[in-house]
């Protein structure tokens, strides 16, 4: 026979922002080398999340589709450009993307079409909807790709930062309106 639940027997819900030990929202930024664009995006977005007091709710990471810079810190030029905007990338280290990323992350954000194509091959069935072009979150820029600054002119890193700041704000607005509004 069913007994009425006593107060002590009420099921205890985990905090609303936790889901099976994960943060509510997990975001992965992806480029080719994981030393210029994606660590910059991770650093800028992470700082924005921290300033908004959402760092327990939204977790970030970055990765490269290549294995060229595994374990390396971000490119010195990327670190210097980010620091000029008070964003510290020094703790970040390169790693390569893996199929598991589509289970671990709710948002997998490609910097360019080549990264997007490589990622779509990694995404298992039913997980492809987690993959987006990062600049889709800044439609007002009228751009699709964050250009690779690695071999380019000196101001490439500043332009990349401008795009990344805009898309980071758009992404956070989107997450607030969708994932955090529930």
Query: Cβ 179 to ligand 4NP, closest distance in Å?
Result: 27
When the beta carbons of 148 and 165 are compared against ligand 4NP, the nearer one is 148
Cβ contact 62:39 at 8 Å:
yes
**Residues contacting residue 135 through CB under 8 Å, at least 6 positions apart:** 141, 143, 144, 145, 146, 163, 167
148 is known as an active-site residue: yes
Q: Which of 61, 101, 106, 148 is catalytic?
A: 148
The smaller minimum CB distance to ligand 4NP, of residues 68 and 141, is found at 68
In whole angstroms, give the CA distance from residue 87 to residue 160. Answer: 14
The residue among 33 and 170 lying less far from ligand 4NP, judged by its C-beta, is 33
For residue 8, what are the β-bridge partners?
none
Rounded Cα distance between 60 and 68, Å, is 21
The site for ligand 4NP (CB under 6 A) is made up of: 31-37, 68, 148, 150
Which candidate in 36, 37, 61, 106 is catalytic? 37
31 given a catalytic annotation? yes
Q: Which residues are catalytic?
A: 31, 37, 148
């Amino acid at each position: 026979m069913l007994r009425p639940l006593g107060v002590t027997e009420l099921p205890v819900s985990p905090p609303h922002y936790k889901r099976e030990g994960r943060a509510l929202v997990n975001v992965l930024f992806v480029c080719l080398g994981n030393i210029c664009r994606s660590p910059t995006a991770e650093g800028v977005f992470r700082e924005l999340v921290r300033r908004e007091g959402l760092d327990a709710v939204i977790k970030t990471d970055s990765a490269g589709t290549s294995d060229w810079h595994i374990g390396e810190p971000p490119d010195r030029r990327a670190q210097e450009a980010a620091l000029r905007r008070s964003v510290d990338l020094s703790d970040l280290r390169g790693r390569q993307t893996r199929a598991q990323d589509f289970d671990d992350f709710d948002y997998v954000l490609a910097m360019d079409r080549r990264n997007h194509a490589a990622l779509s091959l990694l995404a298992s069935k039913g997980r492809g909807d987690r993959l987006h072009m990062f600049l889709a979150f800044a439609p007002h820029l009228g751009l699709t790709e964050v250009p690779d600054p690695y071999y380019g002119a000196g101001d490439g890193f500043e332009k990349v930062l401008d795009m990344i700041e805009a898309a980071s704000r758009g992404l956070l607005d989107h997450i607030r309106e969708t994932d955090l509004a529930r």
